[in-house]
Chains A and B, each alone.
Chain A
Amino acid sequence: MIRTRLLASLTSAAIALMAIPAAAQDSDLATDLDPATIGANDVEQVDVEDSGEGISVTVTADAWQDLGIAIASFATNRDEPTPANAQGTAALGHELARVVFNDLRFNGLFRPVGPDALPRPSYGEITDPAWPTWRGRSAEMLVHGYVRNNEDGRLTVGCYLYDVALQSELVREGWVVNPSEWRRAAHKCADLVYSRLSGEDPFFDSRIAYIAETGPKDNRIKRLAIMDSDGANHRFITNGQSTALTPRYSPDYSKIAYLSYVDGNPRIYVYDIGTGRQTLVTQSSNPTFAPRWSPDGRWILYSMAVGGNTDIYRVSSSGGGTPERLTTSPAIEVGGSYSPDGRQIVFESDQSGAQQCYVMNADGSGQRRISFGGGRCATPEWSPRGDQIAFTRIAGDFNIAVMTPQGRNMRVLTNAWHDEAPTWAPNGRIIQFFRTERGSGDTSIWQVDLTGENERRLRTPVGASDPAWGPVLP
């Protein structure tokens, strides 16, 4: 018997779509956007039944990568219809385990074995694993889970991590989700397993905003699009009539700032997911680009060209405030990325004659160059952990590199013709970027870990550039 207890109230998933006449600047937005699938609803965490064991095991830092983990089908108490899966909750349980398995597998984490290659545990075995079955396999760790259809139509998903040799439970959690968000429960389970075994912060339950690219190089269509961290739940936000570039999710996922040529000029718009409306970041006839949010969401950094000279500004994200100019040199200052405490900003400038990276205080004071590692330094992005800055290193080819905020210990992580625009995973352990093919100009999103060894391409429906990884979903 499995009990659940409500710990928090759930924010209503259904935000009513408001019937507001579209303003001219909204004309490029897709018409079928459901805020619930673009923004973020709270996922309710619930207590789940324990297995009567509670031994704490710590895995040493360098050993966890080699752990074999068996991820079995999630069981269900009763196979019932659910909007989350046409075949019911039993089939959904299998899919949940597959999502957990793929999260770990595609990110080169552990040595996972998925549900397709494993026996299916019964519902009762979720809290009381059939140890003899699992001991015979090479897996040191075992993931079990269940899914239950609740009377209100929502789903309760439980996730358990066991140490097979010790026959003990390491951690468990449960969540209540809307059927449309069932994948989030799987990502939370993957995050739970990853965090418990590696000691790192979670990152799977997050979204990515990016630019979808189609068409030939000299007539390319660029659309604002979003997807989950594993590429699922892909949605186009703009319809492609005008070029969209460089999106950034607000930290609470309520808005997306991005550049659009919808009025013929490059301007930053702030798209409000709840209302489906967008507004200019600042009422100015000057071109604005390179939007970035402060970690607390209160500020938007942007670059603006006045009289041909580009500088960095910040403005309150609540709208209506007076923009504050942070850089004043006659050179190009562009980009900008806040340190996680919001007190400093790393940005790029060509005041030395070529693009280099600089750090300043959040009010623009104390500007100093940090990149002296050879080559040029562009698109710097401060790690959410604060200890690294990722950037595009231009030295013949374009590659992704990291260095400390003091500019030390520079390491180049990729080796292709043109890799650009790093964006950090929420836990600061993985970097996404986009790669451009020489000649065709075709683009794709890739990710690499901080060792530079685990590099992979993300699956996207069409070409993809300008990735922006949001924080862990609220």
Chain B
Amino acid sequence: MNRLIIAVTLSSALALGACKKEPPEMAPPPPQNTMPTPTPTPAQTPMAAQPGSQSHFAMAMSGADTIYFDTDASNIDAEDQAALRRQAEYLLQYTNARATVEGHADERGTRDYNLALGERRAYSAKNYLVSLGVPESRLRTVSYGEERPVATGSNESAWARNRRAVTVMIQN
């Protein structure tokens, strides 16, 4: 179950990576102004994704489920705000949806500090969602510190992709 969620968020993170402030070396940027589409493309999922499910959310976000941070930082910049606004719109549209914000750090830190930093990042994203009207009761946070990298390299672009907060749907 977790493995599936990670796989989906990972591909989303890869897609978004290209348009962030420290752009990783990959992929052309996805269209930024596309509105979230409530109807998923059937070709991409064997079964029609249910609104509020992780696969439906990830597709609707097309990368905006993840925000990125500078080294040791947890502040929400303009780019993060745009992504979080799309997340908030989704969560306000699908009122049964509940989400976990996962906070992560890159490997270039000490383990305990990275756990604290991941929590601070997750909470920072969650706080912003709450400020946009998402009920706090529908959001939780978890820090994975440096334990779950999406990019396995030991270089700046990999670290930039790992310093992130990822919003994932909680399966009802």
What's the least CB distance linking B113 to chain A, in Å? 6
Number of interface residues of B (CB under 8 A): 29
Which B residues are within 8 Å of any A CB, using their own CB? 72, 74, 107-108, 110-113, 115-117, 119-120, 122-124, 127, 141-145, 147-150, 152-154
Q: Give Cα distance in the complex from A259 to B108, angstroms.
A: 20
Q: Give Cα distance in the complex from A178 to B147, angstroms.
A: 40
Q: Give Cα distance in the complex from A30 to B120, angstroms.
A: 33
Given contacts A266-B143, A287-B143, A441-B154, contact A246 B111 (CB under 8 A): yes
Which of B74, B115, B147, B150 is packed against the most chain A CB atoms within 10 Å?
B115
Given contacts A305-B119, A310-B119, A332-B120, contact A441 B152 (CB under 8 A): yes
Contact between A438 and B124, CB atoms less than 8 A apart: no
Contact between B111 and A310, CB atoms less than 8 A apart: no
Contacts of A265 in B (CB 8 A): 142
Contacts of A218 in B (CB 8 A): 148-150, 152
Q: Can you identify 29 A-B contacts, CB atoms within 8 angstroms? A: A217-B149, A217-B152, A218-B148, A218-B152, A245-B147, A246-B111, A266-B115, A289-B116, A290-B112, A305-B119, A305-B120, A307-B123, A308-B127, A308-B141, A332-B116, A334-B115, A335-B112, A348-B113, A350-B113, A355-B110, A355-B113, A378-B110, A398-B110, A418-B108, A420-B111, A421-B111, A436-B107, A441-B152, A441-B154
Given contacts A266-B115, A420-B111, contact A308 B123 (CB under 8 A): yes
What's the least CB distance linking A198 to chain B, in Å? 32
Q: Give Cα distance in the complex from A439 to B147, angstroms.
A: 15
Contact between B152 and A466, CB atoms less than 8 A apart: no
Q: Give Cα distance in the complex from A83 to B100, angstroms.
A: 53
Q: Which residue of B lies closest to A305 (CB)?
A: B119
Given contacts A218-B148, A243-B147, A350-B72, contact A439 B116 (CB under 8 A): no
Total of A-B residue pairs, C-beta within 8 Å: 91
Which residues between 432 and 449 of chain A lie within 8 Å of chain B, taking CB atoms?
A: 436, 438-439, 441
Which A residues are within 8 Å of any B CB, using their own CB? 216-218, 220, 222, 243, 245-246, 259, 264-266, 287, 289-290, 303, 305, 307-310, 332, 334-335, 348, 350, 354-355, 378-379, 392, 394, 398, 418, 420-421, 436, 438-439, 441, 465-466
Point out the residue from B116, B123, B142 that lies within 8 Å of A334, measured CB to CB. Answer: B116
What's the least CB distance linking A400 to chain B, in Å? 12
Q: Give Cα distance in the complex from A108 to B102, angstroms.
A: 45
Q: Give Cα distance in the complex from A266 to B147, angstroms.
A: 11
Contact between A332 and B111, CB atoms less than 8 A apart: no
What's the least CB distance linking A55 to chain B, in Å? 51
Q: Give Cα distance in the complex from A245 to B118, angstroms.
A: 15
Contacts of A436 in B (CB 8 A): 107
Q: Give Cα distance in the complex from A465 to B124, angstroms.
A: 30
What's the least CB distance linking B146 to chain A, in Å? 9
Contacts of B74 in A (CB 8 A): 308
Contact between B112 and A246, CB atoms less than 8 A apart: yes
What's the least CB distance linking A259 to chain B, in Å? 8
**Given A308-B119, A310-B119, A334-B113, 14 additional A-B pairs, CB 8 A:** A216-B152, A245-B111, A287-B119, A287-B142, A289-B112, A305-B123, A307-B123, A332-B117, A334-B116, A335-B113, A355-B110, A378-B113, A392-B110, A398-B110
